[in-house]
A and B are shown apart, each in its own frame.
Chain A
Amino acid sequence: NAGVTQTPKFRVLKTGQSMTLLCAQDMNHEYMYWYRQDPGMGLRLIHYSVGEGTTAKGEVPDGYNVSRLKKQNFLLGLESAAPSQTSVYFCASSYSSAGLRFRELFFGEGSRLTVL
């Protein structure tokens, strides 16, 4: 059972370049999330999705775009990378809160991005 898989795990970009991070989950979760983690800042939510074809902004959405064309995949795009986007990015997924389920998050391994 793979759980949540992120690719790539490491990437170095030059300022202005674009890239896409891919998150895939095999748990049939409705919700998916992208967080960034920076020293002393904890986890900050970038964008999230509550279902296929839907996305919403989180706490720090500027400079990022997302898409959820399939239930199992959630893509995070950087249109024009900036040094301030150097961070570790985590994808997570969860069930919805419907019924008796609770929203325990399952995280991917993280993607370390450096923008020079």
Chain B
Amino acid sequence: ELKVEQNPLFLSMQEGKNYTIYCNYSTTSDRLYWYRQDPGKSLESLFVLLSNGAVKQEGRLMASLDTKARLSTLHITAAVHDLSATYFCAVELGNSGNTPLVFGKGTRLSVIA
């Protein structure tokens, strides 16, 4: 059974600071997804990581994937208030075809002045 764990689950950080959210998963996979959810809103796709060593960046967010360590990170650089949201990682179980993605519980990020 694939398990996905995110940490921390809650994160309060000051504007301008850097921080990293971690996503660990329990079985082999080379496809990982990051989503963002604003309060009361739906989830939107941030990054799709498709291979070991993949790195994607957009603005102040950078995601990476280490399939050997079964770990993905979402790094926040010089946080701003607009980044306040809940971030989810989701893992695809290999290329088995029909198995749904497994989501982590989410990391609620609050950026304060």
Contact = CB atoms under 8 A, between A and B. Distances in A.
Contacts of B44: 107
B101 A103 contact: yes
Given A41-B105, A42-B88, A48 B42 contact: no
Contacts, number: 53
A50 B106 CA distance: 25
A98 B97 contact: yes
Contacts of A96: 97-98
Interface residues of A, number: 25
A45 B92 contact: no
A45 B101 CA distance: 9
How many B residues touch the partner, as a band? 20 to 34
B100 A45 contact: yes
B103 interface: yes
A12 interface: no
A103 B92 contact: yes
B31 A48 contact: no
A104 interface: yes
A64 interface: no
B10 to A, nearest CB: 10
A102 B47 CA distance: 12
Given A102-B48, A102-B50, A102-B92, A43 B103 contact: yes
Interface of A: 31, 33, 40-43, 45, 48, 50, 56, 58, 90, 92, 96-98, 102-110
Interface of B: 31, 33, 35, 41-45, 48, 50, 88, 90, 92, 95-98, 100-101, 103-106
